[in-house]
């Protein structure tokens, strides 16, 4: 038996980001409560926290389920992502604290280690955390919710087309790692223009990977 709210929270995050739990999947409270050794009350606290971040949706007559994806959300994602990511990157260079920079560096190292370990879940989770930290650095209460919501769907859309043995993906992830460290340096140097430019470059890397794969029936959207 697994144990604890924090482990449930982390595991659900990873399972959603890696599509182990597909968009629209209903969560079984009884099964999860038994598996993690917690009662329904703390379990529902985890659900509410994840729903607030955009991982889950909670309906009174249905319970909790993984947030669905739709073709509209895909269109909206491609429209909003570069604008919100760029604004966040610029503000991160302006507002980042020393402790946040230390955590950002550790997140970049964990991402690199996940690449070495060929851990699909680790790559998804640590990449998501790296960019979550940039959102926190921006310190803008209007941008942060949208930024974090984009990150969740960004990971899920990318994982739809993830093939661990694809040589082009290996190269893509190596470039992503290099860009992570360049972003760390730009933010540490308070270089807002460089930070914003690197965010655009990083977004372009994701777009190069995602867009060629998209067809009308390519996404499991979980409506």
Rounded Cα gap, residues 180 and 107, in angstroms: 9
What is the pLDDT, as a whole number, of residue 131? 97
Instruction: Give 77's contacts (C-beta < 8 A, 6+ positions apart).
Output: 150, 153, 154, 157
Instruction: Give 197's contacts (C-beta < 8 A, 6+ positions apart).
Output: none
Rounded Cα gap, residues 112 and 130, in angstroms: 11
What is the pLDDT, as a whole number, of residue 222? 41
What is the pLDDT, as a whole number, of residue 46? 96
Domain 5-66 and domain 71-213 have a common topology = no
| Assessment of whether the complete model's pTM goes beyond 0.75 | yes
Domain locations in the chain as residue ranges = 5-66, 71-213
What is the pLDDT, as a whole number, of residue 220? 47
Fold assignment, 71-213? 1.20.120
What is 5-66's CATH number? Answer: 1.10.10.10
Give me the residues of the chain with pLDDT under 50, please: 216-223
């Amino acid at each position: 038996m697994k144990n604890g709210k924090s482990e449930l929270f982390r595991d659900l995050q990873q399972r959603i980001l890696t599509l182990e739990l597909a968009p629209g999947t209903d969560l079984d409270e009884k099964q999860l409560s038994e598996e993690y050794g917690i009662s329904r009350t703390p379990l529902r606290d985890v659900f509410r926290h994840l729903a607030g971040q955009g991982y889950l949706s909670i309906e009174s007559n249905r319970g909790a389920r993984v947030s669905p994806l739709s073709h509209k959300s895909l269109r909206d994602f491609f429209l909003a992502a570069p604008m919100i990511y760029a604004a966040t990157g610029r503000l991160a260079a302006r507002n980042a604290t020393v402790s946040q920079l230390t955590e950002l560096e550790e997140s970049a190292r964990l991402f690199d280690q996940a690449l070495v370990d060929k851990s699909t879940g680790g790559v998804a989770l640590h990449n998501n955390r790296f960019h979550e930290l940039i959102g926190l650095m921006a310190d803008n209460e209007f941008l942060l919710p949208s930024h974090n919501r984009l990150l969740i769907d960004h990971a899920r859309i990318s994982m739809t087309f993830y093939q661990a043995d694809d040589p082009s993906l290996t190269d893509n992830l190596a470039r992503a790692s290099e860009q992570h460290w360049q972003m760390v340096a730009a933010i540490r140097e308070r270089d807002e223009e460089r930070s914003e430019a690197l965010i655009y470059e990083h977004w372009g890397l994701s777009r190069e990977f995602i867009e060629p794969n998209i067809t009308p029936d390519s996404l499991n959207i979980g409506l």
